[in-house]
Amino acid sequence: MDKVNLESIYSKILSKIEAECERNGDLIPYIPTDGSYTDMRETKPNWWTNGFWAGMLWQLYHASGKELFREVAEKSTELMRNNLDTLFVDL
């Protein structure tokens, strides 16, 4: 794949994820239903895939420097961290 194609794909990824961040706010998206995502914080807060969203945002923040990705990644990470804290409170 040539550099022009890679740059085009990268630009599309940034645009799509930026739109998702703005549309979804601080929810952790999972499966879309009728154009809206299920928020995993409410249904399965400890679901194993919840970290993918934050992880992807952290990677895009480091690659692009876009503050929106960092801000949403921090919120998602904090939600998961708080959730883990409640799991281990009795240990």
Strands (E) in 1-91, as ranges, are 29-33, 36-39
Reported confidence tier of residue 35, pLDDT bands at 50, 70, 90: confident
Mean pLDDT of 29-40: 80
Q: Quote the tokens at residue 46.
A: 């400890």
Reported confidence tier of residue 38, pLDDT bands at 50, 70, 90: confident
- The predicted pLDDT at position 30 comes to 80
Q: What does the alpha-carbon distance between residue 76 and residue 55 come to, in Å, rounded to a whole number?
A: 9
47-76 burial, b at 16+ Cβ within 10 Å, e below that, comes to: eeebeebbebbbebbeebebeebbebbebb
42-91 confidence digits (pLDDT tens): 777 777 788 899 999 999 999 999 999 999 999 988 888 877 766 665 55
Taking phi over 0 as left and psi of -120 to 50 as alpha, with beta for the rest, 57 belongs to alpha
Mean pLDDT of 7-26: 93
